[in-house]
Copies of this chain bind each other. A is one copy, B any other.
Amino acid sequence: MSQTLPETIPASRFETIADTIAEAARELSALGWTPATSSNFSMRVDASHAAITVSGKHKGKLGRSDIMLINLDGEAVGTDARPSAETALHTQVYRHWPGMNVVLHTHSRTQSVASRLYAADGAIRLQGWELQKAISGYSTHDSVLEIPVFPNTQHMPELVARVDAWLDAGKPLHAYLIDGHGIYTWGRDMAETQRHLEALEFLLGCELDLKKLRAS
């Protein structure tokens, strides 16, 4: 893939961002959360651009040339590469929250199974776990952390509309699941976003384990 940058974006900045994404992707791949070339990761470059992984690559083996530039309408900038259809869900985050700079979307087995199990409820409510405090803004295990589960669709505008509707209803949103699919979460920087993702994977896994054990 060949990438030409706008004059306002120094090559060194794009390279640092691409390397940060590729390193996080290697870590998440090693955890088994990106099976079969799934998942995509992005990082804001400036007020109107982001860098995002191209589709269909093994996420443990990404190089700089597997990260492309897009604008916040989700269109490719300075490259012939075609961004993933799911790009719209990344740019929605960057447009909605000027302070959010990283979006991670993964497909772990726990995430996929939890999304199927709670799809009919429309959300999974987490309460009583100390690790809820790993989500920025939460300071006690007594709080309720609600993660919506949206129906899956191959038509991205429907998903964008569902996320917008949730936000328009004034409900807090730190992450969402898509039924049978995976999770989206975000943060101010890569460290915070990885912490959110790790915490959510852990909490979903705990919740599923507890459900099995309480039935036994």
Binding site for B on A (CB under 8 A): 35-38, 58, 107, 109, 112-113, 116-117, 128-131, 134, 139-141, 152, 154, 178-182, 191, 195-196, 198-199, 201-202, 205-206, 208-216
Contacts and interface: CB of A to CB of B under 8 A. Distances in A.
A109 B202 CA distance: 7
A141 B152 contact: yes
Given A58-B191, A134-B38, A206-B112, A154 B178 contact: no
28 contacts: A35-B134, A35-B202, A36-B134, A37-B134, A38-B130, A38-B131, A38-B134, A107-B131, A112-B131, A112-B202, A113-B206, A113-B213, A116-B210, A117-B210, A128-B179, A129-B180, A129-B181, A130-B152, A141-B152, A141-B181, A208-B209, A208-B213, A211-B213, A212-B212, A212-B213, A214-B216, A215-B215, A216-B216
B130 A182 contact: yes
B216 A211 contact: yes
Contacts of A109: 202, 205-206, 209
A205 B182 CA distance: 15
B213 A131 contact: no
A212 B116 CA distance: 13
B180 A128 contact: yes
Nearest to A27: B60
A86 to B, nearest CB: 10
| Interface residues of A, dominant DSSP | helix
A212 B178 CA distance: 21
A117 B113 CA distance: 19
A89 to B, nearest CB: 13
A130 B191 contact: no
A210 B114 CA distance: 8
A216 B212 contact: yes
Contacts of A36: 131, 134, 195-196, 198-199, 202
Contact of A214 (B117, B134, B139): B117
Nearest to A112: B206
Contacts of A116: 128, 206, 210
